């Protein structure tokens, strides 16, 4: 996943985030129950925060090549698709098996943050070697 792919994912995710948020607020709020709306709200929150994190990783890969940041962005992107996507699908379709997909998305979020930490620590080590 190079920085171009990262930016494309961020643009699509951001667009869908705003579109689905508006659709949820104006249309789905009249059609769904409070539990389903809470699932959508949670999915939107996690998608928003992780889309911003992925954007930051894209910026970081522009200035310094770091394989850990690439894998972190990929893991977080997969987390957005699995975690938020499963919550949206669960709210709209009532397919109960999707409750097993959501934690896998959460696991990919955690892996992404851990990979970002490793990448950040390796940047610090590299910088101190050149001084």
pLDDT computed for residue 13 by the predictor = 96
Number of domains comprising the chain: 1
Domain assignment of residue 115, yes or no: yes
Q: Is residue 131 part of a domain?
A: no
Distance CA(4)–CA(17), nearest Å, equals 20
Q: Which alpha helices (DSSP H) does 1-131 contain, by range?
A: 3-26, 34-63, 67-79, 85-93, 102-129
Q: Is residue 52 part of a domain?
A: yes
Does a structural domain hold residue 100? yes
Domain of 112 in residue numbering reads as 3-124
**In terms of pTM, does the model score above 0.85?**
yes
Q: Please give the residue that has the higher pLDDT: either 61 or 105.
A: 105
130 domain residue, yes or no: no
- Within 8 A by CB and 6+ apart from 1, the residues are 70, 71, 73, 74, 77
Q: Residue 18: inside a domain, yes or no? A: yes
Residue 126 has pLDDT above 60, yes or no: no
Residues 73-116 have pLDDT tens digits of 999 999 999 999 999 999 999 788 888 999 999 999 999 999 99
- Examine residue 87 and state whether it is found in any structural domain, yes or no: yes
In a domain, 13, yes or no: yes
Region 54-62 average pLDDT: 93
- pLDDT tens digits for range 6-22: 999 999 999 999 998 89
For residue 87, the model assigns a pLDDT of: 94
Is residue 3 within 8 Å of residue 62, measured between CB atoms? yes
| pLDDT (tens digit per residue) in 27-48 | 888 888 888 889 999 999 999 9
């Amino acid at each position: 996943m190079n920085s171009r792919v990262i930016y494309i994912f961020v643009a699509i995710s951001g667009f869908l985030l705003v579109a689905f948020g508006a659709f949820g607020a104006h249309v789905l709020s009249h059609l769904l129950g409070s539990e389903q709306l809470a699932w959508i709200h949670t999915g939107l929150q996690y998608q928003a925060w992780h889309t911003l994190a992925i954007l930051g990783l894209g910026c970081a890969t522009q200035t310094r090549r770091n394989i850990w940041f690439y894998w972190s962005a990929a893991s977080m992107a997969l987390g957005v698709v699995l975690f938020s996507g499963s919550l949206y699908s669960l709210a709209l379709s009532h397919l109960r098996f999707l409750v097993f997909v959501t934690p896998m998305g959460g696991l990919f979020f955690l892996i992404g943050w851990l990979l970002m930490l490793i990448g950040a620590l390796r940047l610090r080590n590299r910088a101190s070697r050149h001084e």
